[in-house]
Amino acid sequence: MNLILFSPTDTFISSDGESRVRISDTRRLAHLHQVHRAQEGKTYRLGELNGAIGRGELLSLTEQAAEFSFVAEHQPPAALDVHVLLALPRPRMLARSLENMAALGVKRITLINTARVEKSFWQSPELRKEKITQHLQLGLEQCCDTIMPQVDSAQRFKPFVEDQLPALLAERRGLVADPSATLPCPRGLPAATPLLLAIGPEGGFIDYELTQLQQAGVEGIQLGPRILRVETAVVALLARLY
């Protein structure tokens, strides 16, 4: 946890009229005690969810709560202007992929269904809102960012491609990762370059899905002959592109 991320519900006004931050949940408290080995009087990096990043002095620390002062210093780093379409991976891969995308600055993610996505994946507890939020927060804490990504889902591939994808592509260049594509993945684009990046499931998109995406205006790109795991492909593609 390189950033202690807090929400507006964690803030309060002390008896002397000063703004304070109180951390009381088990995960963050355990990290303060066991990893930071936090000590009263020391200063730590804090960030307000969807707000500024700054510094806070640890005023008190017990087994039940930690209280900080907070002084905002700067805004979070610039986000990548990319909308990731991710074929829903198996739960463990989903957790790592969400954390990695949040850490790399992705702010819009749509989880989509494809022929090779197992139906059971859609019943996973990892898709509960609180679990998704937890993984995104871990990614934000890792990279010192505060802006929470937006995650939605589309469980029917064809209606999504026909009804929603054209609007998403209106102001974005669409790319789909496909080992059989001839176009190499672009390199070193500015962070503000608007992209839509589609990443398939284990085994990739089937031919019909690739055809549908390409007919909608999405270009096929490849990273080379190696077949990567989903969470590895996410990082490799974003690192290459930006």
- Over residues 73-90, the pLDDT tens digits come to 999 999 999 999 999 999
State pLDDT tens for residues 48-67: 999 999 999 999 999 999 99
State pLDDT tens for residues 139-181: 999 999 999 999 999 999 999 999 999 999 998 999 999 988 9
Give mean pLDDT, residues 7-17. 87
| Average pLDDT over the chain, rounded to an integer | 95
86 near 235, Cβ under 8 Å?
A: no
Look up the pTM and report it. Answer: 0.93
Domain architecture of the chain: domains with CATH:
4-74 (2.40.240.20), 80-241 (3.40.1280.10)
Give mean pLDDT, residues 29-47. 95
Nearest to 77, CA basis, from 142, 150, 134, 147: 147
Beta-carbon neighbour count of residue 171 at 10 Å? 9
State pLDDT tens for residues 93-104: 999 999 999 999
Distance between CA 76 and CA 27 in Å, rounded? 23
